[in-house]
Amino acid sequence: MVPSIFVVSGCPSSELGLTARRLSALGAPCGHREVFRPEAFRGGGTLFWPRQVVGDASWFAAPLLGKLPRGAVVLHQVRHPLTTISRLYSSGFFDSGLEDVHFVQDFVPETRLGGPLVRCMRFWLEWNRMVEGAADYDDLRYHRFRLEELDEERLVELAAALTLPRTTSETKAVLEALVSDDDGGSVELGWDDLPRGVLREEVEVASRRYGYAA
């Protein structure tokens, strides 16, 4: 059975590429930023799907989900906010001068304001909200999951959402073969390291809604 057209999206530093490899190994060919990238929004925003993939894992997809075909599946991958924000902050994302930063700021102008840590907090919050908005589209199928709980049973559920029946033994083999290469190369922040105020409260509320203790 041919899997449904799908997108895996969330905030950068959420290991979207790892999920792409796992889904591909299960028989749902998934690119990594092959369809959704900054260039896709230029010139009218026409999306080009290579024949060899039916899905794409890309954080760039968040503001472009309305361009997906009817019946497409949106897999919203979230990762603990402290881990994600820590990695964005340690990487110097908003000080990099990369085109990626301009892409973010075009859609979330608030990330132009404040220091690097505040910008990373706002980025995590608003980008996930954007992906979560896919749940409001009548013609899209939205599923959210936590990276930390992506075990064999959860992977079976994701495959089923793509009309791709798989057994737990099949998904277990994939999980064992394709493990994270994230070496944790960043300083892990705690909640008390985030500046107090309305923004931190919003991040904490979203964290609880996604199933993380704040």
Instruction: Give the containing element (helix H, strand E) for 146.
Output: strand 141-146
Q: Give residue 145's Cα distance to chain centre.
A: 10
Instruction: Give the containing element (helix H, strand E) for 171.
Output: helix 168-177
Q: Has this prediction a pTM greater than 0.95?
A: no
Contact status, residue 30 vs residue 24, Cβ threshold 8 Å: yes
pLDDT of residue 44 exceeding 80:
no
Q: In this structure, what token pair is assigned to residue 130?
A: 């954007």
Split at pLDDT 50, 70, 90, the class of 185 is: low
Instruction: Check residue 213 and give its pLDDT.
Output: 84
What is the tens place of the pLDDT at every residue in 169-181? 999 999 999 988 7
DSSP letter for 121, please.
H
Sign of CA dihedral 89, 6, 44, 40: positive
Ranking 33-47, 81-95, 100-114 by mean pLDDT, the lowest is: 33-47
Burial of 76 from C-beta contacts in 10 A (0-12 / 13-18 / 19+): buried
In the chain the domains, ranked by start, together with CATH numbers, are 6-209 (3.40.50)
